[in-house]
Structure 1
Amino acid sequence: MLWLSEVLLQNHDLESFEQLEKVIVEKAKEGEMFFRMDVKPPFQDTPANWEERLEAVFTSRTN
């Protein structure tokens, strides 16, 4: 299971929500089956619909 807090800890050099989306896509392509969003991303550009966007990039696996 992929936890958002774990992704953020392992990728502490991320500077934007867009970069986070790319990491989530890569994790999904690596075969992660489940994704849990246990924290809100701390970036200035985090959109109001951040949960929907991260879920969308995780489930698409083709970005």
Structure 2
Amino acid sequence: MLKLSDILVANQDIESFDELIPLVQAVARTGERFFRIDVRPPYPDTPEDWEDRLEAAFSGLVR
């Protein structure tokens, strides 16, 4: 199971929500089947619909 916190810890060099989306997509492409959103991304540009956007990125709905 992929946890958002694991992505954030492993990629502490990213500085924006827009940089996070491709990382979620890349991990999803490796075969992860489940995604758990366990923390809120700490970026100032994190949008109100951040959970929906991350789920969409993981599911392949955002390209």
TM-score above 0.5, yes or no: yes
Letter in 2 for 1:52: D
Paired with 2:39 and 2:50, the residues of 1 have a C-alpha distance of: 11
Q: 1:62 to 1:52 in 2, by over 3 A?
A: closer
Paired with 2:62 and 2:48, the residues of 1 have a C-alpha distance of: 24
- Segments of structure 1 that go 5 or more residues without pairing to the other structure are none
TM-score (normalised: structure 2): 0.94
Q: Which residue of 2 aligns with 1:56?
A: 56
Shift in Å, 1:61? 6.6
Paired with 1:52 and 1:62, the residues of 2 have a C-alpha distance of: 11
Paired with 1:61 and 1:31, the residues of 2 have a C-alpha distance of: 16
- Segments of structure 2 that go 5 or more residues without pairing to the other structure are none
Question: Do 1:28 and 1:61's aligned partners in 2 also have CA atoms closer than 8 Å?
Answer: no
List structure 1 runs of 4+ shifted beyond 2 angstroms: none
How high is the sequence identity, in percent, across the aligned residues? 49
Figure out how many residues of one structure are paired with residues of the other and give that number.
63
